[in-house]
């Protein structure tokens, strides 16, 4: 691995020198700046070896550094060569500071397709030079071709609104804002707007492409022709002009004099430059799809409830199996995850996992984004903590659930139960919260942590992320985290509620349900309040809960939740599983 | 009033016409952009009649509008003439939107001393024209002279750090940031940096002026010579160059080629323009005094504790008196506030009130920023809610406390007690919170509201503001509010903890203590945690608390707090007051 990455680094340096560049920026990103990128865009992994979902490298002539965040500290050290790379944490050493320090007066190249305008702005102290073609692609001789999966229609029975209606609605909002058109570079925005789904990347049913939406509700969709079968073309209709990705520069050049929305935080800076060159006027603003996509309509809400019911049945069958299997020590992290996947695959409308399952026994549970491999796989042993965070894509909804299990057969130690119960108290504090309109995720994140904080404990990840409707399991714009943008929570948003606690080298705890923002009705109040409807249906492990540490209100919530889990799932289960669930969800 | 303001408005319009302006912006601000402004700068009140502490007017040739916020809706309507002014709420109609709508293509004047660069930027859609002199000053014939109170040294016994040390420390931080100098336009920054106090405005002991601090720790102080007595000049020493306010333009012109820090959010845009004209390079950044001033050192912390002890004794004497007086109905809002002031005036180091006391009986308590006048004054009646929010300036510290009292002699109704107990639950949730470093006010505001939210209730103000050390009772940069900037809370910061609830036309509730951010020590934890030390010492009215609505932890906090109040204050009180306090602070 060392010599291979050594050669690649040397080749890149030679390529940079040939272009008159002193350095190059390599974000972990594709042209859509999303979380899941196709293999063909895994340039960061190619050059550094690091395969985490967030990272960045900077290569200079005489030094190179690679960054990631708290989730990947260990993985970054394991996968990259210290002789080639400084391995840095983005919160401790900012890449822009490192660059300003080590490359003063140097010409640093970047690929304008792989960074947003705001992302680029951070490097304003350095001399940043856009490249026409990515020098990494020159030296990556066996780079895979881009994905070419077919885009298929997503039926209105699941979306609740036709593409024409969506385009008319968003076109009207563009007109209201005095804008002629908007760039769309997020494939999940295309999926929502055109009611299509694809298979270009793992876990998220998107078809890679770009689009222009115009104020009159018409659109241009830039997607390779071979990805658009006849039925999809018919579905898109004659208000959507189809063109190849290569037609994009000409289409932007035709926007001279138009006012075009561009999201400087989320869209490649290439678009900004192209619009400016074309003589278009840029109206900075968020992707107009982001908020409508996040606020699910009644049909999508019914769909996600149905998906969660089936997913809950599959998860409960898995948990009932695990309760038998775990104390034997015969199962492993991989075999358990495989079993859960098999249970889900039995359900209607199942399309695959929504992200790589995190199946972590004992100390592996403390690695927040642990992904089991054949090398890391280990048995699930008796009397330890086992964490499984997984989710599925169904045609009618996306799921994401984490449960933390005591494998038994012995009782769990009091300190572990104390930690789990504090995490549960935080989970419940959010689950039962009522809050006025205007409140955003960063404002309520602390409620999920306060019980841990009182004991000097915390967790190094956000409390919640948005979730799509048979789309991305990590969907913007709202999130429950101090670092999230303060996007007011709104009815129809689906978010995760997943506080945790991690004792490195020992165990990890995370308790995650998805919740749906709903109106809370207080008669005689002028002010509008909201609440969370919990979507996920599966019991929390009673073996890890110390009821006396929960407030009366929290315990009451837990018992009501468990009663609901039993009432909704038991009709779907066979007798032995139903009996297991009855015991697992009995009143505490 | 109508005809007077009518004439003034006509005169202003004539003055604008003469200058070729189509309109003019009139913020409620002086050249320091602070909260309390001298009479000579009350231009908004002069032209509109509105005397609230936050507001703005825009005068066009054919229409005029005046804005304030939720605190002043009623007062704005009462004090201004609907025939002359549209009265608007800043959250409902943004001034910049109103201006863009009504003055497209018009030339709108503004005084560059009375608005920050960021404030001005909001009006970017309109053609904004700076004026050399304020046209209002032309027509305001009896405008008072600016204040000329003496600036006096604040002894190191209270500040804990000499001005030379402070200037050296901040100078070093300028050097580290690669900056040659900083503008200082906030008189509270001057007061802190030079260890001086003044009497130019009510309630806040500041001396109006400007300063330049250089990276070598020397400074220029721009302040009228008659405000600087010999002892103050001696105290300032020879590293601080003294100059008149009129020398400011020349001093800025001399900064050609220098890198100068300027806070676009807090400093008049005049400075930005002057620096640009001079050929200085602007480094945007917060007033470098703001954070050091907010984080009180050990001497300041000891000072504020001593001030709160004396203030607590005065408040308890007042509350003991009120317990006797209120049920008689013989006292009024004014007589009660006067009594409290008199009790405070008996204490050592007392220098005056820290803001106009809010003394509101019954329905007046629901007016969040109520200021009693001889016209509005009303008796405090038996069996109603009385709210008093007040504070004092002492040489060693600034106080701010709100208590809500049931006047008796009958018992309080259950619904009122329910509301008070929810407010108290929120107050205690913050008071006992432990949180990691990095958490900021906007992240914990919800904890003070959750008990109200569960019942569909809320309050329309922030939960907490920073408080100075014998300085402003409203001090930046940190605050506990969703709208506050997320400035991480840091040891030494003093903040208010003041949730409330208001039932218009009926009563107001607010329970306010000041708290001091401290380290929380958890042995064996790598992570650093913080907690609040409550500074304010006075009992909460037991007649308004329903103990069964509080959690066991909250009730325990209350009893411990009351025990501490008695233990610390009883040695300072005479026997009858001590007896009253013993009953008022007895274990519930």
Contact status, residue B134 vs residue B156, Cβ threshold 8 Å: no
Tokens of A46: 């190619």
Say whether B435 and A447 touch across the interface (CB within 8 A): no
Which chain A residue has its CA at the smallest distance from B443's CA?
A443
CB A418 within 8 A of CB A539: no
Shortest CA distance to B528 belongs to which of B476, B484, B557, B488?
Answer: B488
Tokens of B509: 């509730």
Minimum CA–CA partner of A444 in chain B:
B446
Q: Chain A: nearest CA to B133, how far in angstroms?
A: 36
Residue-level pLDDT at A2: 63
Question: What's the rounded Cα separation, in Å, for the pair A165 and A153?
Answer: 15
What is d(CA A109, CA A17) in angstroms, rounded to the nearest whole number? Answer: 11
**CA–CA gap between residue A337 and residue A342 (Å, rounded):** 9
By the 8 A CB rule, do A477 and A450 touch?
no
Kindly give the pairing relationship between strand A240-243 and strand A219-222: parallel
Q: Compute the distance between CA of residue B114 and CA of residue B145 in angstroms, rounded to an integer.
A: 17
Alpha-carbon distance values, B324 to A167, B9, B474, B580 (Å): 70, 50, 33, 10
Instruction: Determine contact: A446 vs chain B, CB below 8 A.
Output: yes
pLDDT at A1: 52
**Given this model, what pLDDT does residue B2 score?**
63
Q: Is A556 in CB contact (< 8 Å) with chain B?
A: no
- How near does any CA of chain A get to the CA of B192, in Å? 31
Q: Which residue has the tokens 């979306």?
A: A159
| Per-residue confidence (pLDDT) for residue A545, from 0 to 100 | 98
What is the residue whose two structure tokens read 């830039």? Answer: A222
| B160 token code pair | 């804990």
Exposure string for A206-221, b = 16+ CB within 10 A, e = fewer = bbbbbbbbbbebbbbb
User: Looking at residue A418, what is its pLDDT?
Assistant: 98
- Confidence (pTM): 0.93
Radius of gyration of chain A (CA): 25
B435, B443, B456 ranked by CB distance to A442: nearest: B443
CB atoms A456 and B529 under 8 Å: yes
Q: Which of residues 509-538 of B touch A (CB under 8 A)?
A: 520, 522, 525, 527, 529
Residues of B in contact with A440 (CB under 8 A): 482
Name A585's Cβ contacts closer than 8 Å, sequence gap at least 6.
Answer: A539, A562, A563, A565, A566
DSSP string, A223-292: --GGG--HHHHHHH-TTEEEE-GGGHHHHHHTTTT-EEEE-TTTSBHHHHHHHHHHTPEEEE---TTHHH
Pair B510, B535: CB distance under 8 Å: no
Instruction: Test B443 with A446 for CB contact under 8 angstroms.
Output: yes
What tokens does B14 get? 């004539």
Task: Round to whole Å and give the CA distance between A148 and A408.
Answer: 47
Nearest by CB: A456 against B429, B453, B525: B525
CB proximity A158 to B under 8 Å = no
Most A CBs within 10 A among B176, B453, B480, hence the mutation to make, goes to B453
CA nearest to B553 within chain A: A551
What's the 3-state SS for A200-214? Answer: CCCCCCCCCCEEEEE
- B442 touching A (Cβ < 8 Å): yes
**Is B446 in contact with A446 (Cβ distance < 8 A)?**
yes
Is the CB of B460 inside 8 Å of chain A's CB atoms?
no
List pLDDT tens digits, range A440-464. 999 999 999 999 999 999 999 999 9
Q: Terminal CA-to-CA distance of chain A, rounded, Å?
A: 53
Partner-chain contact B482 A435, CB within 8 Å: no
Give a three-class secondary structure readout of B79-107.
Answer: HCCCCCCEEEECCCCCHHHHHHHHCCCCE
B432, B436, B551 ranked by CB distance to A551: nearest: B551
> How many other β-carbons are positioned within 10 Å of the β-carbon of residue B411?
10
What is the helix (H) or strand (E) element at residue B575, kind and residue range? helix B575-584
Give the distance from CA A127 to its chain's centroid.
32
Question: In the predicted model, what is the mean pLDDT of residues A498-524?
Answer: 95
Which residue from B446, B458, B525 is facing A443, i.e. has the nearest CB? B446
From A61, A5, A31, A288, select the one nearest A134 (Cα to Cα).
A31
Asked whether the beta carbons of residue A458 and residue B433 sit closer than 8 angstroms, the reply is: no
How many residues in total does chain A contain? 588
Query: Distance from B433 to chain A by nearest Cα, in Å?
Result: 7
- Peptide linkage before B409 cis (omega within 30 of 0): yes
Q: What is the mean pLDDT of chain A?
A: 96
Distance from the Cα of B529 to chain A's closest Cα (Å) equals: 7
Which residue in this structure is represented by tokens 């895979």?
Answer: A144
Better pLDDT: B75 or A576: A576
Residues of B in contact with A455 (CB under 8 A): 522
B456 part of contact set with chain A, CB < 8 Å = yes
What distance separates the 2 farthest-apart alpha carbons in chain B? 73
Long-range pairs for A169-176: beta carbons < 8 A, 24 or more residues apart:
A169/A292, A170/A213, A170/A217, A170/A288, A170/A289, A170/A292, A171/A213, A171/A214, A171/A215, A171/A216, A171/A217, A171/A218, A172/A215, A172/A217, A173/A288, A174/A213, A174/A214, A174/A215, A174/A261, A174/A288, A175/A215
Residue of B178, B419, B428, B443 to mutate, testing the A interface (most A Cβ within 10 Å of its Cβ):
B443
Residue-wise pLDDT tens for chain B (588 aa)? Answer: 567 999 999 999 999 999 999 999 999 999 999 888 899 999 999 999 999 989 999 999 999 999 998 778 888 999 999 999 999 999 899 999 999 999 988 999 999 999 999 999 999 989 999 999 999 999 999 999 999 999 999 999 999 999 999 999 999 999 999 999 999 999 999 999 999 999 999 999 999 999 999 999 999 999 999 999 999 999 999 999 999 999 999 999 999 999 999 999 999 999 999 999 999 999 999 999 999 999 999 999 999 999 999 999 999 999 999 999 999 999 999 999 999 999 999 999 999 999 999 999 999 999 988 999 999 999 999 999 999 999 999 999 999 999 999 999 999 999 999 999 999 999 999 999 999 999 999 999 999 999 999 999 999 999 999 999 999 999 999 999 999 999 999 999 999 999 999 999 999 999 999 999 999 988 766 789 999 999 999 999 999 999 999 999 999 999 999 999 999 999 999 999 999 999 999 999
Say what the alpha-carbon torsion angle A563, A569, A575, A579 is, to the nearest 10 degrees: -30
């Amino acid at each position: 691995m060392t010599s291979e990455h050594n050669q690649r680094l040397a080749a890149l340096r030679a390529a940079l020198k040939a272009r008159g560049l002193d350095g190059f920026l390599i974000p972990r990103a594709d042209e859509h700046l999303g979380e899941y990128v196709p293999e063909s865009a895994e340039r960061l992994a190619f050059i550094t070896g690091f395969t985490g979902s967030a990272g960045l490298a900077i290569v200079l002539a005489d030094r190179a550094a690679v960054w990631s965040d708290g989730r990947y500290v260990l993985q970054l050290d394991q996968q990259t060569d210290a002789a080639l790379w400084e391995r840095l944490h983005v919160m401790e050493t900012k890449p822009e500071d490192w660059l300003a320090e080590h490359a003063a007066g140097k010409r640093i190249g970047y690929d304008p397709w792989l960074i947003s305008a705001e992302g680029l702005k951070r490097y304003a102290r350095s001399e940043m030079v856009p490249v026409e073609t990515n020098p990494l692609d020159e030296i990556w001789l066996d780079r895979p071709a881009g994905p070419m999966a077919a885009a298929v229609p997503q039926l209105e029975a699941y979306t609740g609104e036709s593409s024409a209606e969506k385009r008319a609605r968003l076109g009207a909002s563009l007109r209201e804002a005095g804008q002629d058109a908007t760039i769309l570079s997020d494939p999940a925005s295309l999926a929502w707007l055109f009611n299509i789904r694809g298979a270009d990347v793992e876990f998220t049913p998107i078809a890679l492409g770009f689009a222009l939406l115009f104020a009159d509700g018409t659109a241009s969709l830039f997607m390779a022709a071979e990805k658009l079968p006849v039925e999809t073309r018919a579905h898109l209709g004659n208000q959507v002009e189809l063109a190849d990705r290569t037609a994009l520069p000409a289409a932007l050049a035709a926007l001279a004099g138009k006012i075009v929305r561009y999201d400087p935080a989320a869209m490649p800076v290439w678009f900004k430059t192209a619009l400016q060159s074309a003589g278009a006027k840029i109206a900075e603003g968020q992707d107009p799809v982001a908020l409508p996509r996040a606020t699910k309509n009644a049909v999508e809400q019914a769909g996600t409830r149905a998906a969660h019911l089936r997913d809950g049945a599959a998860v409960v069958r898995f948990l009932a199996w695990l309760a038998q299997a775990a104390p034997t020590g015969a199962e492993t992290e991989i075999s358990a995850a495989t079993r859960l996947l098999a249970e889900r695959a039995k359900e209607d409308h199942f399309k695959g996992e929504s992200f790589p399952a995190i199946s972590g026994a004992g100390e592996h549970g403390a690695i927040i984004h642990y992904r089991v491999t054949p090398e890391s796989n280990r048995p699930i042993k008796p009397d330890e903590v086992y964490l499984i965070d997984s989710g599925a894509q169904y045609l009618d909804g996306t799921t994401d659930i984490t449960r933390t299990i005591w494998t038994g057969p012995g009782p769990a130690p009091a300190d572990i139960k104390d930690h789990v119960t504090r995490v549960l108290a935080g989970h419940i504090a959010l689950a039962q919260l009522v809050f006025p309109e205007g409140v955003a995720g960063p404002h309520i994140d602390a409620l999920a942590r306060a019980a841990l904080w009182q004991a000097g404990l915390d967790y190094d990840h956000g409390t919640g992320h948005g979730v799509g409707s048979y789309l991305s399991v990590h969907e913007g714009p709202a999130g429950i985290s101090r670092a999230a943008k303060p996007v007011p929570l709104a009815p129809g948003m689906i978010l995760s509620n997943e506080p945790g606690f991690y004792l490195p080298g020992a165990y990890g705890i995370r308790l995650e349900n998805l919740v749906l923002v709903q109106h809370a009705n207080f008669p005689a109040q002028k002010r509008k309040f909201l609440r969370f409807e919990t979507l996920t249906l599966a019991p929390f492990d009673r073996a890890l809960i110390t009821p006396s540490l929960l407030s009366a209100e929290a315990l009451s919530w837990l018992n009501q939740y468990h009663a609901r889990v039993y009432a909704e799932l038991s009709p779907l289960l066979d007798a032995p599983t139903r009996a297991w669930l009855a015991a697992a969800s009995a009143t505490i």
